[in-house]
Amino acid sequence: MAEDLNIISGSREDQYRSLYPQVTALLNGETSRIANMANVCAALKEQFGFFWVGFYLVEGDELVLGPFQGTVACTRIARGKGVCGTAWQQRQNIIVPDVDQFPGHIACSSLSRSEIVIPVFNPAGEVIAILDVDSEFPDFFDETDRTWLEKFASLIL
């Protein structure tokens, strides 16, 4: 049974470091990827108060909205479109300090100002999902987020 998260103060690095073992424990023994994605989103949202945290799942040549926390969102994103579709196509993380400066950014909410998008690879090296974290503040994400969100995203494998 899930226990309440122990909410942490301190630097963002401290928060990620303390949250990580809690989320690992929460997911331990659960084989449902959907359930695990849902709890990763909830834990990140609860700890950091991000505006939007969610997974998009690769289905054929599209990304389809999966478990998320936040406002209603676009359900399908084509490969190469928006930040998420570009991260999938390029097989790399993308930090967008100002969404208005990213050509083709898909605005699901006008309140989102910056974002970070992390592809999740299966053992065969295929992208199976994308973790998308959005902030209502410009220039909100940095290398600390990139490092740690990559680790959190990999927990759903």
Interface ranges with ligand SME (CB under 6 A): 52, 73-74, 77, 82-84, 105-106, 108, 112, 115, 132, 134
Strands of the sheet with 52-59, listed across from one edge:
76-78, 62-69, 52-59, 127-135, 114-121, 94-96
> CA 155 to CA 119: how far, in whole Å?
12
Contacts of 116 by beta carbon, 8 Å cutoff, 6+ apart = 93, 94, 95, 96, 132, 133, 141, 145, 146, 149
Residue in the shown chain whose Cβ atom is closest to ligand SME: 82
- Using the minimum distance from each CB to ligand SME, give the nearer residue, 24 or 75: 75
We find the least distance from the C-beta atom of residue 115 to ligand SME, in angstroms, to be: 5
Residue 149: φ, ψ to 5°: -65, -30
- Using the minimum distance from each CB to ligand SME, give the nearer residue, 5 or 78: 78
We find the least distance from the C-beta atom of residue 142 to ligand SME, in angstroms, to be: 18
- Using the minimum distance from each CB to ligand SME, give the nearer residue, 102 or 121: 102
We find the least distance from the C-beta atom of residue 36 to ligand SME, in angstroms, to be: 19
We find the least distance from the C-beta atom of residue 32 to ligand SME, in angstroms, to be: 22
- Using the minimum distance from each CB to ligand SME, give the nearer residue, 77 or 153: 77
Q: What is the DSSP letter of 102?
A: S
